[in-house]
Homo-oligomer: A and B are copies of this chain.
């Protein structure tokens, strides 16, 4: 097995290579070398045209939905409007429709005869389903369901692909039958005329406007209001709940589905963020190998990558990128043969994955840019837009502070009930119950001892135990833990990722063992070093221990340098994927920056000269009036 197969996974690497070959054979006709000069409307239009070109390629080559989604990620930076139909819309049809409904609707969505979106979030509430205000009232007289937006805050908001594209929405609304509240359900709702794309009656839609930092520019998020909009009863998704024509309601709880859909999404987020971070680090490595500053030797200054200040930022970030990819995939793979009693464990692992992956991912992309110094701030370098793209992930699919409480709550629940043995992700509670082990000091002090997996796991588990102890005590004392619980969640997730990456060591191909072990140590010792605050006030570590730890970390960083290029090669990102002035095959970074300037729309300034000349002659009208000019 090649290192590329190990990192990407066999199935994804095959798809990836197939897509890259297809793109090489018939490149997109819509080219956009400098998206940063365009208005948002023009950029949205360019990206949509690229989406449609790829849709045609999908049909021509018989690609699956997954092929198409991968192709969008490879060929269209930012989030594609058409991905909403193939990702969240189709997946929910598959999961929540009855077989009859599926047979009718899924082919239409697959071939893009209809174009769907998923409408859950409202102005007033997002992931807190209980706060959803949109109502779906059953009218037995006409056998219809009436959707209504009763308030300003019940406007659907942030709905991807709704603003312009969608013909249908899966609307999350509170079902009301005969005055009785039956909780939120999904309703397939036609929005726009299939022939003309005009809005249908009783629904108002606006495109949401520009997102911050220019991110998600190519996604038409939408705002929607229903005014007593009627849809047939048959449009209620009825795999797990259904309504008879007389209003009789049937439901079958499916807890497993609710868990697994989030497990899949969060595992996927971890993988995708990992790939984004890897790209950013590859760009930064390219530049920091080229850029030279200070310390002249043999007539040349030192390449920036050779400084600890750069290595100690980029190498751990690369190790985290690989961890996010491998652990994210592993967790998604586990969903298929999942037992019911493993649901909570997997849920708690993926909550940690979401929090940890988004926090570190955003920071690591930012660090890639900062490592490139001032020139990293040119748009054409691409690192800024990667940051912009990841930045909102900390507050979507559950705000990280709110989400952290799920881990805090599970800790308190299992601590009280003495049931942590049923949830391997909470192993640190067992450690916390063992006062003898908790009061032990670290057994060995040498730098080498920190390379032992047992020592690494013990340190991470102990830190999580200390955070859990604090959380349990604070909860007992009635404190508002909503801020501090975030640190517990991060320590919890450190352990999840460490264990996940450790377990992946088992199937590393022999010839790449050295590379992945070196990466594992950089990953682990960075986690431990950056979590030392938990040990202040304890006796567990001595000054010598910390000194040994720092020594081990420095030596792991230094020796990881030899393995970086094989990891970069295994990722094998193409020039057009990286899309950066710092990663061009036939130009140095300086040459690419100079070319960018030559092409700036402001370089020919004749359009503004009258204003400039007027400004420089203004003084003639005011001089001599005693002004302090």
Q: Which residues of A contact B (CB under 8 A)?
A: 34, 36-42, 44-45, 48-49, 51-52, 55-56, 58-64, 82, 110-115, 121, 123-126, 128, 131, 152-153, 155, 157-158, 163-165, 167, 194, 196-197, 205-215, 220, 222-223, 293-294, 301, 307-309, 311-313, 369-370, 373-381, 383-385, 387-388, 391-392, 394-396, 399, 401-402, 479-484, 486, 532-538, 541-546, 554, 588, 590-591, 593-594, 596-603, 605, 607-609, 611-616, 618-619, 621-623, 625-629
Bound CA–CA A616/B615 (angstroms): 52
A597 closest partner in B (C-beta): B206
A163 closest partner in B (C-beta): B602
- For A537, the chain B residues whose CB sits under 8 A away are 532, 535, 541-546
A401 touching B614, Cβ below 8 Å: no
Bound CA–CA A590/B123 (angstroms): 7
CB distance from A238 to the nearest CB of B (A): 25
B194 touching A616, Cβ below 8 Å: yes
A52 touching B614, Cβ below 8 Å: yes
A604 closest partner in B (C-beta): B207
Bound CA–CA A483/B315 (angstroms): 13
- For A115, the chain B residues whose CB sits under 8 A away are 612, 615-616
Bound CA–CA A457/B48 (angstroms): 58
Q: For the complex formed by this chain, how many copies does it contain in all?
A: 2
B608 touching A164, Cβ below 8 Å: yes
A611 touching B52, Cβ below 8 Å: yes
A152 touching B590, Cβ below 8 Å: yes
Q: A482 with B613: in contact, given A197-B605, A537-B542, A629-B110 (CB under 8 Å)?
A: no
CB distance from A114 to the nearest CB of B (A): 7
Q: A602 with B112: in contact, given A197-B612, A209-B378, A307-B482 (CB under 8 Å)?
A: no
- For A535, the chain B residues whose CB sits under 8 A away are 536-537
Bound CA–CA A482/B126 (angstroms): 44
A60, A113, A114, A208: most-surrounded residue (chain B CB, <10 A): A208
A52 closest partner in B (C-beta): B615
A306 closest partner in B (C-beta): B480
Bound CA–CA A245/B206 (angstroms): 71
Q: A113 with B619: in contact, given A165-B612, A546-B536, A629-B59 (CB under 8 Å)?
A: yes
